[in-house]
Structure formats: C-alpha cells, structure tokens
Structure 1
Amino acid sequence: MPWPWRRKSRKTLARVVIEGPIAGGTRERVLKALRQVEERECPALLLRIDTPGGTVGDSQEIHAALLRLRDKGCRVVASFGNISASGGVYVGVAAERIVSNPGTITGSIGVILRGNNLSRLLERVGISFETVKSGLYKDILSPDRALTADERTLLQGLIDSSYDQFVAAVANGRGLSEDVVRGFADGRVFTGAQALALGMVDELGDEDTARRLAARLAGLDEHELRPTTFGKPAKRLLSFLPGRNLFASLQEALSLELAWSGQPLWLWRP
C-alpha cells in the first residue's frame, strides 16, 4: 500500500508559491514541493510567482524541475503577482502558459554582478590585506582594491555567457527568436500589459484567471476546483511583530549586498 503522501491525485490542482528573492532556501522548498506534485501525479500546477529574481543557479534548478514536471504530463500555468522580474521571468518561462496582472512589474532580463571596493575606507582606518594567491585572478573582486582592465574583461565574458543562457531560455519558453528577445532583454522592466504585447506572457488576469486556465488545460472543473498548496513557507516569529515589513526589507537589502556580493545574479535591483 503506498504511503499517504504518494497517493495519486489525478483530480488535484496543485499550487506552489515562489515569493521573495530566489536563493538556496527558496530553491530547496520549491524543489521539494515540485517533487511532491510529481509523486502525487497531479494533472496541473498553478505556479504563483512574486519575486525580483535572485541567484542564477537556484533559478536554473527550479526551471529545470518545472520542465521535468511538464515532461511527466503535468500542465503548468504561471501567475505573475506584484513582481516577476529577472530570475522570476526565467522560472516563469518554464510554464506552458503565463498569466500576468496588467500592472505586474516584469522583465529585467539580464545579469548583474557587483563587488564592493572598500579600498579608500580601509586606507582611512589603517587596514590593509596581505594576499598570497595561486593564480593571477584568484582574488578577483577583492574589496581592498579596484578591478584591473583584464579582470573587468574576464568578468564581462562570464556575464555575457550567463546572459546568453537567459535569452535562450526565454526564446525557447516563449516561442520567440533570440534576436527578438535581445531586442527587449536589456534589463528594462515592463508592466504586464507591455509584456503581453512583447509575447512575454499569454494573457492578462489575476491568480484566479490562471487557476481556471490550468484547470481547463488539465480537463478539470474550473468552477468548483480549488488548488492544494504544496511547500508552504514556514511562518516566522518576526512575522507577528510590528514593523515586520520594514525589518524584512532591511534584512533582504543586507542579504543582497553582503551574502550575494560577487555573484552573477538574475535580479531586478532598482
């Protein structure tokens, strides 16, 4: 007899939410949820996306998992919320269809890499680093000095390669040529209405519009069926405190500047 969490759910509309920056914790939660959707053989998935993007590798792993789920016959519809930019777009184009609010902030197709040059500050406070390295570029983006011209060229090549991967994924997912995608993939953001005109999304509507579309694609009752959410984010103690939104925003900004410094990111950074 199969375990309860592996029972087949051929009439279940699954729902998975990607919210906040895409990083290791989000990747682990979402991948686990997608495995549960696959094990229960849910015929359709409503993927709710509300994220400015995040790290390249984590976005790619979620994208690949969604494609595998579709290969198993699951119909995947993405719903763009307040924002689905950069890595959020990369994840979204793995869906069969995309529904966006007219005012959703989307786009920002591109790659950004930032380091912190603290050399002047360190000089003022009398701090210096002694570096022993095995190769010329081993301390690239070190915070105690500026980039050399050769290092900038090397990093630009890395960024260009990541950008090419992004463009190819959008082109394949949306049925567009890479030249067309490159025409608007310069880091700019769009509203959902603008994205529709560019072919980045299929139709305008809210999450319920996406729910009904997913149900129809899977031959389910769109009027009565309500989705079952997999991989719900754990509630944190701070979520009950006053000023929690400001604290979360500050925490997120600090994470982006410190934890992700020196990493290529598929991230909208206004």
Structure 2
Amino acid sequence: LLLAFGAVRGESPRLGSGPRVGVIDVKGTIGGGADRDETEDILKRIRRFAEDGDLKAVVIRVDSPGGSVGASQEIHDEVKRLAQKKVVVCSMGNLAASGGLYVSVACPKIVANPGTLTGSIGVISQFPNVKDLAEKLGVKVETVKTGKLKDAGNPFRDMTPEDRAYWQGLVENTLGQFVKAVAEGRKLDEAKVRAIADGRVLTGAQAKEAGLVDQLGNFYDAVELAKQEAKLSGEPVLVYPPDERGRFLEQLMGGAAGAVADAVATRVAQGAADARQPGVYFLAR
C-alpha cells in the first residue's frame, strides 16, 4: 500500500537508497490544441522539482519535433530557472528538433545519441488557399476588417505582396529570438548559429561538431552526467513527477490503464493536428 501511495503521489518506489535524480519528459508536439494542456503539465512538473530541496539533479528527456513558438519558449524559460537551482542535463531521444532544440538549449549540458535528429533551427508559417475551391462551389466570403493586414493569410483570397512581407517579417523576428536563445544557451557566437539556422536537420554527431551538444550517449549516460555534475554518489533513484504515475498504475491495473493511455494518445494526436493552425512554429518538417 505504501508503494502504491508513493506512485500515486508521483515518485517511483524507493527500493534503492541512492541519490534522487528527477526526470521530466518533453515528448511529442509542443503546444497547440490538446497539447497545450501537456505544456502546462510540464511547467508544473518543473516547478515541483525546483521546490524539492532534497532533489539535486534533473534530467530533461526531449523527444519532440517542436511545435508552437510560445509554448517552446515557456518551457525553455522554466528550465533555465530550474538550472539556477539544480544540476540540469538534457537527454535527447530520437528527435529533438526545432522547438525541441529550443527547450534543450536551456539545459547547461546536453547529451544526444549519434543518430538523434536535432537542429532544424528555423520558423515556419503555412496558410491553406481554398480560393479556387470556394469559387467552384459557389462560396463567396465577405470580409469586414479594421486594417489592411487584419486578414493577412485569409484562405479565401490570394496572399498579396504586402501580406507576404508582413508574415516574412514576423518569422524573421522569431528566428532572431531562436538564434539568440541557442547562442546564449550553448555559448556560441550568433554568426555561427545563423550559419546552420536554415532549417537543416543535424544528427547528434553533427550537432556535437557544431557545438549544440556536449557529449554523445543515451539516457543513462545523461543520468550519470547529472550525477557527476551534482557530485552525487551511489546508484541514482529516478524520480518521476505526479503526472507520470501511469507507468506504475498500469502494472497494477493491467489492460484498463492501457486503454486509458490509448485514449489519451488519440487526443494528443488530434491536438497535434490542431497545432497546424495558421501561426508561427518551431517545427521540424
């Protein structure tokens, strides 16, 4: 009962006596739609670990293609605050690109697999154009607006040169924010970052050569690095936040928890589709 209670509270059962190392997952599309709820959960988990005086080190596990700009920046800033109180190490999984990289560079140390896909420093904004389809269907849309740019990106008309220049200015400004965050986080010259800020994806090995990654290795190498940086001894006990308790409850409840997990996964997939709404994104394509 005590083990079950500990799991519900959010900590892995303390079957070991080693130092506690926190683990926070940043997975899937960041922000937008249903994923907005996940972003808020991540922020709460970071705050919880920041307030835990007995926790000396945290590993941020990133496996994400990126997502909305604002959500990526929110998580990035909260991770930076956490790093002022704890040892923080990023572990890049299969994918830590665009917004995933934006979150990662908030960590003072980054570990990636040689084959991790990262980089993709850039900003994208896409707009559907259904003007011809609407005309074929006999649909006409009347727009009443207060300014000439108020409906820039309207899918029922062609984008004007002025519209395009407006949106280009937005994405260029946002790219500048991205480049600055990477340069500050990795202690690189902005010119060096801009040289690879053309949207290209890098492998973990290439990212290390470019200065985006500190060392190559897997999740447990990142845990070991966090342990060393925090000067901890003994086999670490990994601690997961409350919202990650499903992994232990699934063992207790069997298929029932699995069915719930499937339902949640479906909702997340729908949210990822919602995230493709017009806007600006740190998103690998």
Q: Greater RCO between the two (CA within 8 Å, min separation 6)?
A: 2
1:47 is matched with 60
Match of 1:158 among 165, 170, 179: 170
Cα shift at 1:262? 1.5
1:268 is matched with 284
Is contact 2:205–2:216 with CA below 8 Å preserved after alignment? yes
2:106 is matched with 94
Is contact 2:119–2:200 with CA below 8 Å preserved after alignment? yes
Is contact 1:113–1:261 with CA below 8 Å preserved after alignment? no
Is contact 2:109–2:214 with CA below 8 Å preserved after alignment? yes
Per-residue Cα deviation, 1:176-196 (whole angstroms, up to 9, x for no partner): 000000111110001101111
Is contact 2:67–2:281 with CA below 8 Å preserved after alignment? yes
- Corresponding position: 1:16 with 2:29: no
Cα 1:254–1:62 change in 2 (3 A) is closer
Distance 2:40 2:229 in 1: 28
Distance 2:39 2:160 in 1: 34
Cα 1:124–1:238 change in 2 (3 A) is farther
1:71-150 to 2 correspondence within 5 Å? 71=84, 73-150=85-162
2:48 is matched with 36
1:69 is matched with 82
Cα shift at 1:252? 6.0
Letter matched to residue 114 of structure 2: P
Cα 1:233–1:182 change in 2 (3 A) is farther
Aligned residue pairs, count: 254
Per-residue Cα deviation, 1:50-75 (whole angstroms, up to 9, x for no partner): 0000000001111111111122x201
2:220 is matched with 208
Which TM-score applies when normalising by structure 2? Answer: 0.83
Cα shift at 1:248? 7.7
Cα 1:28–1:173 change in 2 (3 A) is same
Distance 1:113 1:11 in 2: 45
Distance 1:254 1:206 in 2: 30
Cα shift at 1:38? 1.1
Cα shift at 1:236? 7.2
Is contact 1:116–1:261 with CA below 8 Å preserved after alignment? no
Is contact 1:29–1:233 with CA below 8 Å preserved after alignment? no
Is contact 1:86–1:267 with CA below 8 Å preserved after alignment? yes
Query: Structure 1 stretches (4+) deviating beyond 6 angstroms?
Result: 233-236, 247-250
Q: Give identity over the alignment, percent.
A: 41
1:227 is matched with 238
Cα shift at 1:229? 1.1
Per-residue Cα deviation, 1:198-251 (whole angstroms, up to 9, x for no partner): 111000000000000001111112x5112101142867746448xx98x68964
SS at match of 1:137: coil
Letter matched to residue 74 of structure 1: K
1:246-265 to 2 correspondence within 5 Å? 251=270, 254-256=273-275, 260-265=276-281
Q: CA RMSD in A?
A: 2.3
Per-residue Cα deviation, 1:10-62 (whole angstroms, up to 9, x for no partner): 94211100010001122101100011101112211100000000000001111
SS at match of 1:139: coil
Name stretches of at least 5 consecutive residues in structure 1 with no aligned partner: none
Letter matched to residue 278 of structure 2: G
SS at match of 1:227: strand
